[in-house]
Amino acid sequence: MATAVVGSRIKRREDPRLITGEAKYLEDIKLPGLAYAAILRSPYAHANIKSINIDKAKALPGVLGVFTGKDFADVNPLPCAWQAGGVQNNANTPRILEIDKVTFTGAGVAVVVAEDRYTAEDALELIEVDWEPLPVVVDAYKATQPGAPQLHENAPNNVCMEWTVGDQSAVDQALHSADIVVKQHILNQRLIPTPMEPRGCIAQYLAATGEYTIWMTSQAPHVMRLLITAFVFGIPETKVRVISPQIGGGFGAKIFLYPEYCLMPALSKKLGRPVRWMETRSENYISTTHGRDHITDIEVGAKRDGTITSLKVNTYANLGGVLSTIAPGIPTTLYGRMLSGAYKIPNIFCRVFGVYTNTGMVDAYRGAGRPEATYVVERAVDLVARELNMDPVEVRRKNFIQPEDFPYDPIILRGLKYDSGDYDKALDRALEMLDYANFRKEQAEARQQGRYLGVGFSTYIEICGVAPSAWIGLPGEGWGAALWESANVRVHLTGKVVVTTGSQTHGQGHETSVSQVVAGELGIAVEDVTVQHSDTLGTPFGYGTYGSRSTAVGTVAVYNSLQKIKEKAKALGAHMLEAAVEDVVFQDGKVHVKGAPDRAKTIQEIAGAAALAYSLPQGMEPFLDDTTYYDPPNCTYPFGTHICVVEVDPSTGSIEIKRYIAVDDVGNVINPMIVEGQVHGGIAQGVAQALWEAAVYDENGQLITGSLMDYALPRADFFPPFELDRTETPTPVNPLGVKGAGETGTIAATPAVVNAVVDALSPLGIKHLDMPLGADKIWRVIQEHTNGV
C-alpha cells in the first residue's frame, strides 16, 4: 500500500509557524470594537448568594455592562453529556453565571464588560456580594458520610452516582478461596492539567443575521456548537460558527463546554459588541477542570504460584461541586472497565461512587480514567509479588494475556475485546534494555552500602480510539451517541489535496501525520497536502480530539476516503488510457496499465481531467472528492512496558530518577518522531503525578496550590534522557493498523515510578506509599522506619 513516507520521521509541518510566532492564538485575534470581560468568581467553596450590588461597578467610566446570574435566568444550565450509569436525576451542572448558590471556589457569579481588561478588573472590585457561607466538604469519602454538608438537594449524601461492574458474589467467593488476599487503601491525588495556554473565548453576534461567531480554546469545536445551540440556548446549530484558533495544548481540559463559552455570545448579543474573555492562570487553576482524585480500596486475591484470581475495587471519585461535560464517564466506563489491565483476571468487581464536593470540577485529564485504572492494577500486581516474595516481573508474566488469546474478552468491557498484543515481547525488550539480571546485582550491592536503589515496572495496556457506537453509544453507559469521526478529501484541479477533518489538533501534529497518510496513498508530496480543521464552517461534523482517537478514528476516515478516491481515479485513468478498469492499477501516484508502467496517467493529470470534466466516462461525476463518516467496530488497545530506576537519598528523602525505559506498542506508526514526542510528554506528566504534582484544597475549600509557584509542574532537567523503543503489533480494528499514542506515557509512567520507590524502600518494610512522593514524605517515612528499629 503506502510508500515509505508513512513511517518516516518528517519534521512537523506545524512547527515553522509556531516557532516563528506567526501562529494565531485566541489572544492574537483583534476585532474592531472588541470589548473585554472579567468574571467575578466566588471566594467561598460553598455559599448562598443573598444579593449582589453592581451599581458602583456599573458607574465606573469605561464599563459597558455588568451582569449577574439573574440576567441570564432564561439560559439553560450547561448539559452533562455523558451521564454514565447511575446518574439519573441528579446531574447538577454549572450555569453561565450562578444565581443563588455556589458549590466551589471559582464559580462565576457576575461579569463586567469594559473597554479594556484593566477597567473590567477594577470594576470587579466594586461589586458587592452578600454571601452566606455554608459548611464545606472537600474529601469524596467524607462527603458521603452522615452529617456531611449537603451540596445539592437532589443528591443525598452527595452521591451523584453509584456504578458497578462485574459480579460481586463471584469475586467475593474467589477472594474467599484465594491462597492470599492483599488489601490496600490507595489514593490517586487530584491534578491540574495546565496547558501552556489557558482557556479563552471571543464571541461576535451579528443582529442583522442573528448569527454568532465564537472563537474558543476547544478540542472539540463541533461538539461545542451542538451543546451551545441545542442544549444551552435552544437555537439552530446553523446560527453558530465555532472556530478553534491555534490551541496551546489542552490535555483534556479543553474538551468541555464551560460557562464562559456561552456567556461571551450572550454578552455580545446584549451589548452589540464582540466580547473577549481570556483566563488568567489563577482563574485557570480554580475554574478549569481538574483530573483524577480517587480514594480507593482494593482487595486482590491470588494463588501461591502468583496467579491472580480476583480483584475487588471500591472507589470514591471526586467530581467537584458541579458536573463538567463528561465527568461521570471518566471514573466509570474509562476506569472500572479497564481494571483487568494486561492480565487474565477471571473475577473483577468494581464499585464507584461519583461524589459532589466543594471543589473544582473534575473531568478527563490526559489518560482519563485509564491512568487511575492502570495505577490500581500495576500496584496490585506488585503487592501480590511482594506478599508472595516473588519477582514482580514473574507475576506479570504469569498473568499476561497471551498472543493466542486475542481477541480477548476481559468480560468487564461490555462486549468489546482487546484487539491484539504480545505483552511478553515488549517486556522482554525493556528488560534487555535495563539488563535486569545485572540491575538486581547492582541493587544488592547498593543495599549492602545502605543505598536505596529501586526498580519499578508498569506493563500497562490502555484503550484508544474512544468512539465505537458499539460501546460508547450505549445509553446508560456511554453518551448515547457514537463518536464517529469524519473526513473530506478533495483533490483539486492541480493535484493538490485538501483534507478537512472533524478532529482538532492542539499540539499532536495531525497536520503532519495526516499529510503523510495522504501522500503515501496518493503518491504525492507531503507539501501538496493541506489539512484544514477546527472551524465548523469549513469542516464536516466531527467529535474532536481526545482519548487518542484522532489517528485511530479520524485518520482512518481520511484513509477510507482516499481508497474511494483511488477507485475513482482508477476508473478515470483507465478511461484516459483507453483501457478497461480491470486492466489498470494505481501505484506510486499513477494509474498505469498492468504490465506496462509507461502507459500511465499521474494523479495530477487525472485530478485535472476530473475537474475540467469535459471527457468523463459515462455517468461519472466531476471532481475527485469524497467524505467519510467512520464509526469503528472496536477501540484499540496499545500496551507496553515502562521501567523506572530510582535512587532515594535517605538523608533528604529526595528521589533521583536514574533511568527511564519505555517500550510502547501503539500499532503501526505513521511518524516515529511525533510518537516519541507524545511519549516523552506523557512520561513527564505521569512521573510528575508520582513525584511532584498535587492539587490540594484546604478544609475551607481554598485551593492551596493555586499558582505555578506552588504547583510543581515537571521541567526538562528533572529527568534523565528517556530510553525508548517500540514493538509494532498492528491492530486488526482498522486498515491502517494504528492504535493511538497520545496518552500511553501518562497512563504507564505513574505506577512505574511508585513501584520503583516502593522497591527501593522495601528493605525498610515499606509496601505502599501514596503520591506525590515528595521529599518531606519520603524522609519522614524513612525516619519512622529506621528510628523504630
Partner 1 sequence: MYPTEIDYHRASSIAEAIELLSQNDDAKLLAGGHSLIPAMKLRLAQPGLLIDISHLEELKSIFVSGDKISIGALATHAQIAASADVQSYAPALASAAGIVGDQQVRNWGTIGGNLAHADPASDPPTVVLAYDGVIHIQGQSGSRSVNAQDFFVDLFATALEPGEIITRIELSNSSSAKSAYVKLSHPASRYAVVGVCAVLEMNGSTCTSARVAVGGATMKAVRSPGAESVLTGSSLDDSALNAAAAAVKSDIEEFLIGDMSYPEDYRQAMAGVYLKRAVHAALGS
Amino acid identity at 593: V
- Shortest distance in whole angstroms from residue 122 CB to partner 1: 7
Using the rule CB under 8 A, give the single segment among 89-97, 280-288, 433-441, 442-450 that binds partner 1: 280-288
Residues that bind partner 1 (rule: CB under 8 A) add up to a total of: 26
- Shortest distance in whole angstroms from residue 61 CB to partner 1: 12
**719 touches partner 1 (CB under 8 A):** no
**Rounded distance between C-alpha atoms, residue 37 and residue 432, angstroms:** 57
- Shortest distance in whole angstroms from residue 711 CB to partner 1: 6
Contact code string over 166-205 relative to partner 1, x by CB under 8 A: ----------------------------------------
Identify the residue among 8, 150, 282, 532 touching partner 1 (CB under 8 A).
Answer: 282
Using the rule CB under 8 A, give the single segment among 148-156, 593-601, 614-622, 703-711 that binds partner 1: 703-711
**702 touches partner 1 (CB under 8 A):** no
- Shortest distance in whole angstroms from residue 714 CB to partner 1: 8
Handedness of CA 705, 707, 708, 714 (dihedral sign): positive
Identify the helix (H) or strand (E) that includes residue 672: helix 672-691
Are the beta carbons of 338 and 353 closer than 8 angstroms?
A: no
- Shortest distance in whole angstroms from residue 652 CB to partner 1: 6
Identify the residue among 154, 236, 713, 763 touching partner 1 (CB under 8 A).
Answer: 713
Report the DSSP beta bridge partners of residue 101. 48
**720 touches partner 1 (CB under 8 A):** no
Using the rule CB under 8 A, give the single segment among 437-445, 527-535, 565-573, 704-712 that binds partner 1: 704-712
- Shortest distance in whole angstroms from residue 692 CB to partner 1: 5
Q: Which residues contact 233 (CB under 8 A, 6 or more apart)?
A: 75, 76, 262, 265, 266
**Rounded distance between C-alpha atoms, residue 686 and residue 243, angstroms:** 31
Are the beta carbons of 637 and 664 closer than 8 angstroms?
A: no
Using the rule CB under 8 A, give the single segment among 315-323, 467-475, 533-541, 712-720 that binds partner 1: 712-720
Using the rule CB under 8 A, give the single segment among 147-155, 346-354, 506-514, 769-777 that binds partner 1: 769-777
Are the beta carbons of 97 and 129 closer than 8 angstroms?
A: no
Are the beta carbons of 215 and 243 closer than 8 angstroms?
A: yes
Task: Find, among 404, 379, 213, 217, the residue nearest to 308 by Cα.
Answer: 379
Strands (E), 613-674: 624-630, 639-648, 655-665
SS3 content of the chain, % helix, strand, coil (to 5): 30, 25, 45
Report the DSSP beta bridge partners of residue 210. none
Identify the residue among 70, 281, 440, 441 touching partner 1 (CB under 8 A).
Answer: 281
Neighbour tally for 441: CB within 10 Å: 11
Strands (E), 210-343: 211-216, 240-243, 275-278, 291-302, 308-320
Helices (H), 493-540: 510-522
**525 touches partner 1 (CB under 8 A):** no
Counting beta carbons within 10 angstroms of the beta carbon of residue 433, is it exposed (0 to 12), middle (13 to 18) or buried (19 or more)? Answer: middle
Nearest residue (CB) to partner 1, 111 versus 497: 111
Nearest residue (CB) to partner 1, 594 versus 715: 715
Give the CA radius of gyration of the chain.
27
Amino acid identity at 175: L
Question: Site residues for partner 1, window 109-168 (CB under 8 A)?
Answer: 117-118, 121-122
Question: Site residues for partner 1, window 461-500 (CB under 8 A)?
Answer: none
Using the rule CB under 8 A, give the single segment among 2-10, 580-588, 667-675, 710-718 that binds partner 1: 710-718
Amino acid identity at 140: A
Nearest residue (CB) to partner 1, 147 versus 450: 450
Q: What is residue 347's three-state secondary structure?
A: strand
- Shortest distance in whole angstroms from residue 691 CB to partner 1: 8
Strands (E), 448-588: 452-458, 485-491, 497-501, 529-532, 584-587
Identify the residue among 59, 704, 763, 786 touching partner 1 (CB under 8 A).
Answer: 704
- What is the maximal distance between C-alpha atoms in the chain? 92
- Shortest distance in whole angstroms from residue 787 CB to partner 1: 12
Nearest residue (CB) to partner 1, 283 versus 528: 283
Task: Find, among 238, 196, 200, 204, the residue nearest to 216 by Cα.
Answer: 200
Question: Site residues for partner 1, window 632-691 (CB under 8 A)?
Answer: 651-652, 654
- Shortest distance in whole angstroms from residue 24 CB to partner 1: 21
SS (H, E, C) 212-230: EEEEECCCCHHHHHHHHHH
**59 touches partner 1 (CB under 8 A):** no
**285 touches partner 1 (CB under 8 A):** no
- Shortest distance in whole angstroms from residue 280 CB to partner 1: 4
**786 touches partner 1 (CB under 8 A):** no
Identify the residue among 515, 711, 734, 744 touching partner 1 (CB under 8 A).
Answer: 711
Nearest residue (CB) to partner 1, 212 versus 692: 692
- Shortest distance in whole angstroms from residue 58 CB to partner 1: 19
Question: Site residues for partner 1, window 29-48 (CB under 8 A)?
Answer: 38
Match 456580594 to its residue by C-alpha cell: 129
Identify the residue among 656, 708, 720, 786 touching partner 1 (CB under 8 A).
Answer: 708
Handedness of CA 626, 627, 629, 635 (dihedral sign): positive
Report the interface residues with partner 1, using CB under 8 A: 38, 117-118, 121-122, 280-282, 651-652, 654, 692, 696, 704, 708-713, 718, 774-776, 779-780
